Amino acid sequence: MNRIWWAQIKAVIRLEFRKTLFARRGLWIYVLAILPVLLYIAFAFAVANRQHHSEGIARRGEKTLTYQDLTAVRSGMTKDQVIAILGKAPVASHWTEDRPVENGQKVKIAHEDLQYSDGRSDLYLGVADGKVDYVALNSSNDLGQDATMFAGVFQFFFLRLAIFFGCLGIFMNLFRGEILDRSLHFYFLAPVRRDVLMTGKFLAGLLATCTIFVTSEILQTGTFLWHFTAAEQNIYLYHNHGLEHAAIYAGVTVLACVGYGAFFLVAGMVFRNPIAPAAAALIWEGINPFLPNILKQFSIIYYLKSLCPVEIPVAPGTSPFFALLVSNAEPISAPLAILGVLVVACIALYISAVQVRRMEVNYTTE
Amino acid sequence: MSDRIIFEDVSKFYGEILGVNRVNLSVPPGITALVGPNGSGKTTLMNLMTGLVRPSRGRVQVLGYRTDDPENLFKIVGYSTQFDSFPKGLTGFEFLYSFLRLTGEDSAICQQMAWRAIERVNMGEAASRKVAGYSKGMRQRIRLAQALAHDPKVLVLDEPLNGLDPLARAEMIALFRSAAAQGCYVIISSHILHEVDVISDQVILLSNGYVVAEGQIQSVRSEIQEHPTEIMIRCNRPRELAAKMFEAEHAIEISIHKDEHGLLLKTRDSDRFYLALNDLARNGIEIESIAPADDDVLSVYEYLIGNDEVVR
């Protein structure tokens, strides 16, 4: 690249980055970025509260239980067998059921609901007529379950809403905002090629969105792991692909900013009102799972979903419509997905370059 | 490489609204004034010259550069627009410095150039204040500084004297003259005709998007045949001179000055007038001075366009 062009791009980035990052009208983007972090902080407080409750139950138990003790109980065991393993239940409630039998007769069944805890996981037992007929083990520290929750929040809120609308707010304003402020001529009167100017503005927007959303993603990972012990965090991060997943999520965030950024940059040049293209893009990205394969390739979420490291499991009984929405039926390989986003972005940037060269400063018609 | 600013059959339409139509111009170095009422196409011509708008038809070239090539065009062109808005949050110095950094020059050079431009428009004391807090005159001056900052060969100035106090006007006019004296092309649009008259070497008169006249003001005036030429003569015996002039049959109207030491003559044939005047001078009338009274921009503007929007 020509040395002068690079110097000009840096000059544009310096001006635009500061303006974009500290714009008062962009405060809502920070709110969008911080929402998942707040969600995980609230979740950590809820888990801590539940743990405190579990620890109370564990203290009241006859025996000091381990997680293995809790998993030893099976459906069909007698109450005495349960007491032999876990001791007397610290929390118990009784009730009687009038169960209808043949000839309109009813028999009385004695039920007991028992609760045990090892201080971190809670075991719920339903005992009917002296035998265990229901076992549920809830762990407040299930990393696998929490990682799936993280994946869900990332895909359905962070990618599809926070980054989508954040890029809309930042990239659409790179040119459109200056037309509305009547200050675009400042750049157009400088000895800068219009496409060099566009590149500088795009990179400034990309730097700003990546700063905001990658920071948010790192904070999300931190707050998501907050309620786990140091040992659990260590195992998750270094032995259970946690660090790798965090890096992939950061990479997907950057790619999302590249893809949506390029799209909204060109939309800001072509459309005067951002609502129409934003709504169209949101619908297009939303219906992506239902599109034919050829059309899927013209969306950004298709590639981003393929790159996400954790597959969101479809619960049994979920309707096919929602199952399709949640799962990625035809994921593509990571290199192809990255290439796909970059190709979509390059097409959008090429259109932007053509558009910016044709652009006129005529504020009165805006 | 051309040494002119050239418009070849240029038209610009904003949708169905005419900006300028079929403009053919060849602007030489020096100060050229664009004169015309509001909506006549002055700003459109300037925007076409600087590539801010593209012609619907025709071609514009500035000293051989295409106007759709900003990278090269703005190395030689500085444009002070009428748009009174600036990038947010910048001081006067930062505004100029940021603009100059867009040229790709090093920081130290840009700082030096920014300060020099600030000094040229006498904004040294206000340079560290935010542009948003500037008065209208200060904003005008900082825009002029932006246009001047990179020492362009062509200065395009849209109403550059608007909002300036008399002292600042005089300073700016001196600045434009000095630039023109150094071989620059200074294109100025203005409503203030007496200032245009004083500073411009040539004028382009516009009306409703058409160029109605262009060139040096005297030659433009001489081509306006339907209005008689007005000549002011200062002499010791104006009544006698007036009688002689009527005898010569080219004078249409003569009025004697109140102080009885001069007269204003209107003639359709100034050449015959000057010939006759030589004879009269030999007959003992002492002629103190002779000066054309209506070959200024104001008169030409009134004759060609009308006087509705003239600011004297």
Per-residue three-class SS string for chain A: CCHHHHHHHHHHHHHHHHHHHCCHHHHHHHHHHHHHHHHHHHHHHHHHHHHHHHHHHHHHCCCCCCHHHHHCCCCCCEHHHHHHHHCCCCEEEEEEEEEECHHHCEEEEEEEEEEEECCCEEEEEEEECCEEEEEEEEECCCHHHHHHHHHHHHHHHHHHHHHHHHHHHHHHHHHHHHHHCCCCHHHHCCCCCHHHHHHHHHHHHHHHHHHHHHHHHHHHHHHHCCCCCHHHHHHHHHHCCHHHHHHHHHHHHHHHHHHHHHHHHHHHHHCCCCHHHHHHHHHHHHCHHHCCHHHHCCCCHHHHHHHCCCCCCCCCCCCHHHHHHHCCCCCCCHHHHHHHHHHHHHHHHHHHHHHHHHCCCCHHHC
Q: What pLDDT score does A111 carry?
A: 92
The residues spanned by each domain of chain B are: 5-222, 229-293
Whether pLDDT at A122 is above 60: yes
State mean pLDDT over B139-164: 93
pLDDT band at B16 (very low <50, low <70, confident <90, very high): confident
Whether residue A104 has pLDDT greater than 90? no
- The pLDDT mean for chain B works out to 87
**Which of A2, A189, A360 best probes binding to B when mutated, by most B CB atoms within 10 angstroms?**
A189
Q: What is the mean pLDDT of chain A?
A: 89
Top pLDDT among B163 and B136 is at: B136
Report pLDDT for A145: 83
Alpha-carbon span A71 to A122, nearest angstrom:
10
Count how many pairs of residues, chain A against chain B, have C-beta atoms within 8 Å. 88
Burial of B271 (0-12, 13-18, 19+ CB in 10 A): exposed
**Which pLDDT score is estimated for B196?**
76
- Per-residue model confidence (pLDDT) at position A51: 86
**Distance in Å, alpha carbon of A9 to nearest chain B alpha carbon:** 8
What dotted CATH number matches A53-139?
3.30.1450.10
The more confident residue out of B194 and A80 is: A80
pLDDT band at B285, cuts 50/70/90?
A: confident
- Residue B44 reports pLDDT greater than 80: yes
Q: In the β-sheet with B210-215, what is the strand arrangement from edge to edge?
A: B77-80, B154-158, B185-189, B30-35, B202-207, B210-215
- Compute how many other C-beta atoms are within 10 angstroms of the C-beta atom of residue A241: 15
Residues A172-209 have pLDDT tens digits of 999 998 888 888 999 999 999 999 999 999 999 999 99
Residue A158: predicted pLDDT: 95
Q: Which of B53, B83, B102 sits opposite A192 (nearest CB)?
A: B102
Q: What is the pLDDT of residue B114?
A: 96
Would the CB atoms of A192 and B87 count as touching at under 8 Å? Answer: no
Q: A interface mutation test: which of B48, B62, B66, B71 has the most A CBs within 10 A?
A: B71
Give the model confidence (pLDDT) of B218-252 as tens digits.
766 666 666 778 888 888 888 888 888 887 767 78
pLDDT greater than 50 at residue B312? no
pLDDT at A146 over 60: yes
Q: How many CB atoms lie within 10 A of CB A221?
A: 21
Q: Which CATH code is given to the segment(s) B229-293?
A: 3.30.2130.10
For residues A136-173, b (16+ Cβ closer than 10 Å) or e, as one string? eeebbeebeebbebbbebbbeebbbebbbbbbbbbbbb
Searching chain B, which residue's CA lies closest to the CA of residue A24?
A: B88
Mean pLDDT highest for which of A51-60, A288-297, B19-28, B32-41?
Answer: B19-28
Name which of A65-79, B142-156, B195-209, B279-293 the model is least confident about. B279-293
Domain boundaries, chain A: 3-49+142-365, 53-139
**Percent over 90 (pLDDT), chain A:** 51
Taking the domain B5-222, which CATH number applies?
Answer: 3.40.50.300
Kindly report the length of chain A: 366
CB-CB under 8 Å, B102 with A12:
yes
Q: How far is A190 from chain B (nearest CA, A)?
A: 6
Q: What is residue B237's three-state secondary structure?
A: coil
**Pairing relationship of beta strands A91-100 and B77-80 according to DSSP bridges:** unpaired
Pairwise CA distance, residues B204 & B44, whole Å: 13
Facing residue for B83 by CB, picked from A19, A185, A365 = A185
Residue of A nearest to B51 (CA): A360
Q: Which DSSP state fits B228?
A: P
Read out DSSP for B67-91?
TT-HHHHHHHEEEE-S-----TT-B
Tell me, what's the pLDDT at A299? Answer: 86
